[in-house]
Amino acid sequence: AQGFGPAKPLRGTIEFKVDVPFYLDDSVYLNRVDQVAYVATESELRHLRTVPRNEREQAWQDFWRKKEQLPPTGVGITEEEYFERIEHAEENFGHGDKGYRSDRGHVYVLYGPPDEVDSKPFEIDTPASEIWYYYQAGRQFEFIDRFGTGEYVLANRAALQ
């Protein structure tokens, strides 16, 4: 019979990830609260920022229940759709612009994709610009890249009111 000798301990590494709901992770939760600034009032933001951790889920659900009924643009938007727009703005307006915090991001998050975009490239005597048309909402937004950096600034800021 053959002997196996002394037993060697087995060693290994196991990696695992624990996903917690976003409202239990302080930094993720506060980032989400910051992202709803386009549809939240100052008092709603203050409430969401200060609500105790164990009440965050309910406060968040209550907030979105109201927002889905009374959207600022007159068009219903769900929480899921809102954050899809935030993600789109981060991906598409992050080079030169400031993602969802940019003027184009702000308009995109509130109104969604425009029905039509009229883009004019930079020329020697004219900065690049875009006009976004939202026919059903009866709105248009003009963005100008004054310095050629890719940061498009809303020229008609009053249109957002």
The confidence score (pLDDT) of residue 94 equals 81
Residues 105, 87 contacting (CB under 8 angstroms): no
Output the 3-class SS for the chain. Answer: CCCCCCCCCCCCCCCCCCCCCHHHCHHHHHHHHHHHHHCCCHHHHHHHHHCCHHHHHHHHHHHHHHHHHCCCCCCCCCHHHHHHHHHHHHHHCCCCCCHHHCHHHHHHHHHCCCCEEEEECCECCECEEEEEEECCCCEEEEEEECCCCCCCEECCHHHHC
Terminal Cα distance for the chain, rounded: 88
List pLDDT tens digits, range 117-147.
999 998 888 999 999 999 998 999 999 998 8
**pLDDT of the chain, 161 residues: tens digit per residue:** 565 667 777 787 888 776 767 777 889 999 999 999 999 999 999 999 999 999 999 999 999 988 877 555 555 688 999 999 999 999 999 877 899 999 999 999 999 999 999 999 988 889 999 999 999 989 999 999 988 888 999 998 887 76
Full-model pTM: 0.80
Compute the CA torsion angle 57, 58, 60, 64 (nearest 10 deg). 140
The answer to whether the beta carbons of residues 144 and 156 sit under 8 Å apart is no
State the pLDDT at residue 11.
82
| Distances from the Cα of 156 to the Cα of 74, 92, 99, 136, angstroms | 20, 21, 19, 19
Q: What is the pLDDT of residue 84?
A: 96
